[in-house]
Chains A and B, each alone.
Chain A
Amino acid sequence: MTTSPSEHDIHAYVDGRLDGERREAVERYLARHPERAAEVRAWQHDAQRLRAALAGAQTLPDNHTLQPAAIRRQRRQRRVQRLSLAAAAVLCLGIGGVGGWRMRGATTAAPMADAMEAYRLVALDRAARPDVVPQRAGDMQAWLDAHFEHAARLPDLSGAGFHAVGGRLFATDQGAAAMVLYEDAAGHAISFYVRPPGPRNHLLPTGRRVDGGLVAQYWSGQGYNYAMVSRDDGVDAQVAAEARRQSI
């Protein structure tokens, strides 16, 4: 008389996880208990059907927000938001303390203020590093073309001793802007800046603006706004003006 196998062994048998003596014991037991054997066979059959139905793993529509990288990005953004909220709170306290801090609204409305800011950041403060550094002659143009279709050609300043040394993308309210920085042997810097005109398609007339020792000479064409930015003194501004004359 065989003792009935444990519940564990019955399931392990169904799931094909039982070997050796214990498997044989279950088989001997089932041979003597046809009713139980029928149930076990039915369980095996159910398991197979379940596997068959699910093995094809219904292809679910892609959801990229579930990818680990996307989740990490969201977590970072939430952290940044919390930080900037905290920073805003501190700023409000500061403003409250000073009593009547005036926004310098004029700067944001001034044409190509962002181009001059970009120049300061990369050329003067060296606070932002270029995204790309050209290795070969056509590299900068190729990089620019990759981001701005049909934009004006990069000006060639080699006649004046200036060569492109790097490019960087910036975020503006109207979309991505790009700056290409030129330098000469003396370390003087001139930048070429291109940006989209924005939703109202605000193209700039040709003009120039001086601010804080820098001059932005701007124009528009091919659906973008451009600026050459340089120091306001010496020949740099003349080189920049010549570059603009070539581009228009």
Chain B
Amino acid sequence: MKVQFQTINQILDMGGHGFYVWSAVFVTLTVLIGLIVRPLLQHKTVLNQVSQDLAREKLRKKTAGEGN
């Protein structure tokens, strides 16, 4: 096993195939990161909504209690 490229330019160029290889890498990483970040954000949103609902419920019960 040895390093195939010596300079940054060689890595970027990949013997003329740089555009194809690096666009594949870029799109792959974007999709993979998106598949992790999206559910994490949704998870947070749902928890926030539940939290708001609970707070509203608590407030409603409190005001109802004061009314009596």
A binds B: no
